[in-house]
A = this chain, B = another copy of it.
Amino acid sequence: MRHPQTKKANSQEISSKWLDVSVPIYAGMVHFPDNPPIEIDTITHVERGDVCTLSALRIGTHTGTHIDAPIHFLPGGTGAEEVPLVNLVGPARVIEIKDSDAVKAEELRVHNLGVRERLLFKTSNSERCWETSEFVHDFISIAEDAASYLASLNTLAVGIDYLSAGSPETHRALLNAGVVIIEGLNLKGISQGRYELLCLPLKILGGDGAPARVLLKPLG
């Protein structure tokens, strides 16, 4: 009943079209300090003679690649189920950040950002932060002046390539303006340019965040 040739074709097809920029979820993986550790327990397993394999996940709402919902930082804010998916599905730009300190408004201005763009920032985080399961403290995040600038442009979504977009003020500026924050991307090997973005977070009712799967397809 196996069809290895069909499976091979599928795998080539996906690799030539969609690029997976999500980090894998596994027990003991890196997490933001004070967030719960990631634990996966096997309940039953076909290789132990059970009829099927089942497991239980114990994870935080901000595990790996995920989105932040307004309630993460804003009293009275909405939960993950109300995050508008149109902000997360559609054309997007990957922008390579040269600054080794932070994503700053000054650097963003040279990219002629329009209103209502989906923007993913590729920093040196993608090369240096995901290689270890220890939390990397000196990661690059979004400066408050950049967050205000992105908010003023009604940016649809902002992605960053490690586990936080930045300070509480950065988060509040973005979330207050309806900018959806995507954190925990791995953009290693992804060139600056235009892509079709698919970012689908779990529909967690009232969730302050939600793990997501994120794919990119190069445009033209």
Contacts and interface: CB of A to CB of B under 8 A. Distances in A.
Contacts of A51: 73, 168
A52 interface: yes
Contacts of A62: 54
Interface centre among A14, A74, A84, A154 (most CB of B within 10 A): A84
A111 interface: no
B81 A53 contact: no
Interface string A189-220: 00000000010111111111101111100000
A173 interface: yes
Contacts of A14: 84-86
A85 B1 contact: no
A55 interface: yes
Copies in the complex: 2
Contacts of A201: 213
A43 interface: yes
B54 A60 contact: yes
Contact of A61 (B20, B34, B55, B206): B55
Given A55-B208, A84-B14, A202-B202, A6 B178 contact: yes
Interface stretch (A22-30, A93-101, A123-131, A136-144): A22-30
Interface in A72-121: 72-77, 81, 84-87, 89, 116
Interface string A46-63: 110001111111111110
Contact of A18 (B76, B89, B208): B89
B205 A24 contact: yes
Contact of A3 (B1, B154, B212): B154
A27 B167 CA distance: 30
Contacts of A207: 25, 40, 55
A216 B22 CA distance: 22
Nearest to A76: B47
Contacts of A215: 85, 89, 200
